[in-house]
Amino acid sequence: MSELLKQREAFLKRAQNVPVIENKSAPAPKRARLETSKKKVVPVKNFHLIHKIVTHMKNRHLQNELLPLSLDDVLEECNSTTTVSNAARLGLEDALPKNPKLRQIPGDVVKYCYRPSIEGIRDKKSFLQFLERHYHEGLGGVTKEMVQESLPKADKILKYHSEKKNIHVHTRPDKKTVIFFNDRSLEIEMDETFQKLWRSITVESVDEDKIAEYLAGQGITFADDPGIRKVASSVKRKKRKNNRVVKTQNTHIQGLKDFPEK
């Protein structure tokens, strides 16, 4: 029994002295991560929707609804919430601030309102004040189209001022109508007797120089209108002499003399 114990101890000592190589288990393969790269949404411009929004904002302005609206409110009033995609919405956010017919109002929520061609006209009084100021600044008239895009009840107001002779309506050769302020300070009432006397004088056969000479003889001074250009009379040019050498055809009779009968 003691012999067996000795052999066992000897075996254990030998086992401790022998190096043991451990084979590590291969790690489990890592699952490849799926790269879910989000695609960038490209803004898409829906020109039909932009036109619809601008028209809606103009109609609100012409109905004296001046409260600015957010993009969500505009789309809701245009009944377009179900048809606008993210790309189209980004296109609207990019295009609406650049539209000349709209004004962007910054804030926590960006809002929009209509930008009229003529600012600050709301009724017939403010329109006439604008037209008078426009006239005195030497800017002339404004087109009827600009008035109709800016003034609520424009046709009714234009008719009122036309009947009151506060404005002058002119149609250009291109069929566009222009509205001018009628300056009544330029209207001069002339006596009917003077008008008849004026119309009875004929000056068709008298040129401007003779009229000026007559006025000077009567002791009446006058001033030339710088806006009237006198057409200079055309100067007759002298005809050039024809110095061309004419080739003589009958060269064989050049030396003959003419002897007339006596």
What residue ranges do the domains of the chain occupy? 47-114, 124-186
Q: What is the pLDDT of residues 156-183, one digit of tens each?
A: 999 999 999 999 999 999 999 999 999 9
Q: What is the pLDDT of residues 121-159, one digit of tens each?
A: 999 999 999 999 999 999 999 999 999 999 999 999 999
What is the pLDDT, as a whole number, of residue 202?
76
What is the pLDDT, as a whole number, of residue 238?
65
**0.85 exceeded by pTM:** no
What is the pLDDT, as a whole number, of residue 232?
53
Query: In whole angstroms, what is the distance from residue 36 CA to residue 32 CA?
Result: 12
E-only strand ranges, the chain: 69-70, 102-105, 111-114, 142-143, 167-171, 177-181
Question: Is the pLDDT confidence value at 42 over 80?
Answer: no
Query: In whole angstroms, what is the distance from residue 121 CA to residue 153 CA?
Result: 11
Question: Is the pLDDT confidence value at 81 over 60?
Answer: no
DSSP 196: H
Question: Is the pLDDT confidence value at 239 over 60?
Answer: yes
The CATH classification number of 124-186 equals 1.10.10
Question: CATH number of 47-114: 3.40.50.10860, 1.10.10.10, 3.40.50.720, 3.60.40.10?
Answer: 1.10.10.10
